[in-house]
Amino acid sequence: MKKVDAAVVGAGMGGLAAAAVLAAGGRSVLVCEGSGELGGCAGSFRRSGYLFSAGATYGMGFEPGGLFQRLYRELGLPLPPLHPQSVIMDVHLPDRTVRYYQQKEAWFREIRRVFPAKAQSIIDFYEEVFGFSFLLEQIAVHRPVLPPRTFGDAARLLRMVDPRLLKRAPLLLQSLGQRLRRYGIEREEAFVHFLNGQLIDSVQTTADECPVVLAYTALNVFHRGAYYIDGGLSRIALDLTEAVRSSDGEVRLRTPITGLRKSAGAEGGWELRTRRGEIIHAHQVVLGNSLHSFHGLLDEAERHGGPGFLSQEEEEARPAWSAFTLYMGCPADKVFPPVAADAADQAGAPPVLYHQFIRSYGAPLAETNQFLLSISRPGDDLRAPAGHAALTASTHTAPDPWWSLGREAYERRKQEYADSILEGADRVFPGFSDSLDVVLPGTPVTFERYTQRSRGKVGGYIPQGPLDLLRMSSAYSGVPGVYLCGDTVYPGAGTLGSAMSGWIAAERMLR
């Protein structure tokens, strides 16, 4: 029987961050990943000469003081090859293209160009976003447990709070939609759709349902720093894996965990069962494979807990998205340079690597009406053959309908979604769809198969109102000795949020 101090289930960003911090802290660590790839939903896979990113996502948190910059420094890791992006993305609305700049002054100039009627009110709104987010960052840098589950965590949280934040406490009880109404910009159709496009990709919901804390954090993070990482975000997973192994930890691929129960031995702890029947004994366990799969791992006798425990019924009642993805390869000249948002853009500006498409103002921002397209950087020979580009397109989709279809209807729906995305891309990149030499679709069924996530749910839970932050799960599972991380616990979705959740869980375990 393998015995370790800490077993980590899942080699996504949360699980690997937890494992690396635990191993650096002197704990013996074993990470068990069910698939053959590192990184979970931020991983990558190779097909037909291309290295595809599983999701169409950005590199964030590497700016001075950013979460990954601090984590790499604490682990003694050199930073990966980073390419700062002055343009976050081009957002293609039905009637205009918005060039979303990283630098604040350039972004404010663009606001005046594309939203002239309410430009000053929108700028005032963003000034509030940046000011309030600065105060929130002073808390986040200490990695608090939220919501606090113990008196100690609550006391530590209060010591972190800047008095200036207390003066703005009413904002903590509001939705973003309420703040838009405060500035008189809630009826600016194009701007609200631009804003909702950013929110749906980062926090899984739109302004009226999004808590201000989550919304302002998400809207501010790009302006802190946006980076392209050579080789994709899976490079972070490789670096964290190296940190685990350099501290004598172990990371196993193709080792799915099928059960978790309390050890009957005198030493206590937990027993984890692998699909091959191996038993692993661990004093503590980190579950980084999402709360969607939490109850399926626990033996029947363990499916109850103390404060913070989320019952299976409660978990299943929480709404969540899945994704439809399209992985593509094409000659680079079909996507570079992209259509300019402003003819006055300077010649020689770096190519725009991320594009968001919102095709209609009259439909929800899901099911291909909104999708994000990421493109590998010219010169990134890890991702694509010379003269070519690897692309990932992703749209939110409700998971359940995909599972109720027969084979013929499933294949037809998959083709319809692929055709819809290609049609949207063709409007910006003429002839794009005809130039593709690789087209690989992914559905919720695909995501469950390769990420081991129940029903293919990805991205965390969908917030449902301004107080939703109080209903989030924390690092404490409610089961003694079992901790949680990943996109379904605080601080939520995304590579940055998942890694932070793993760091929080590890720090609690080391105390």
Q: What percent of the chain has a predicted confidence (pLDDT) above 90?
A: 77
> How much is the average pLDDT of 76-93?
95
What is the structure's pLDDT at 502?
97
Domain ranges of the chain: 2-42+71-81+231-318+462-510, 103-110+118-215
Other C-beta atoms lying within 10 Å of the C-beta of residue 6: 27
Per-residue pLDDT band at 349 (split at 50, 70, 90)? low
Please report, for the chain, how many H helices and E strands are present, in that order. Answer: 17, 18
Q: Domain 2-42+71-81+231-318+462-510, what fold?
A: FAD/NAD(P)-binding domain (3.50.50)
pLDDT digits (tens, 9 = 90+) for 89-143: 999 999 999 999 999 999 999 999 999 999 999 999 999 999 999 988 888 888 9
In angstroms, rounded to a whole number, what is the distance separating the alpha carbons of residues 265 and 280?
13
d(CA 319, CA 311): 15
Q: Does the structure show a pLDDT above 70 at 409? A: yes
Residue 167 scores a pLDDT above 90:
no
Six token digits for residue 112: 């005046």
Q: Mean pLDDT throughout 37-59?
A: 89
Determine the Cα–Cα distance for residues 53 and 56; give it in Å rounded to an integer: 7
- Mean local confidence (pLDDT), 334-346: 56
Residue 348 banded pLDDT, cuts 50, 70, 90: low
Question: What pLDDT is stored for residue 96 in this prediction?
Answer: 97
CA neighbor of 503 nearest in space, from 480, 488, 484? 484
Q: What average pLDDT does this structure show over 306-330?
A: 91
Q: Is the pLDDT of residue 1 over 60?
A: yes
Q: Taking all residues of the chain, what is their mean pLDDT, rounded to a whole number?
A: 92
> Three-class SS of residue 266?
coil
Position 80 scores a pLDDT of 94
Q: What is the pLDDT of residue 301?
A: 78
Most confident option among 152-166, 403-417, 449-463: 403-417
Q: Is the pLDDT of residue 377 over 50?
A: yes
Q: Assign 56 a pLDDT band (cuts: 50, 70, 90).
A: low
Closest residue by Cα to residue 499 from 130, 158, 198, 74: 74
pLDDT for res 172? 85
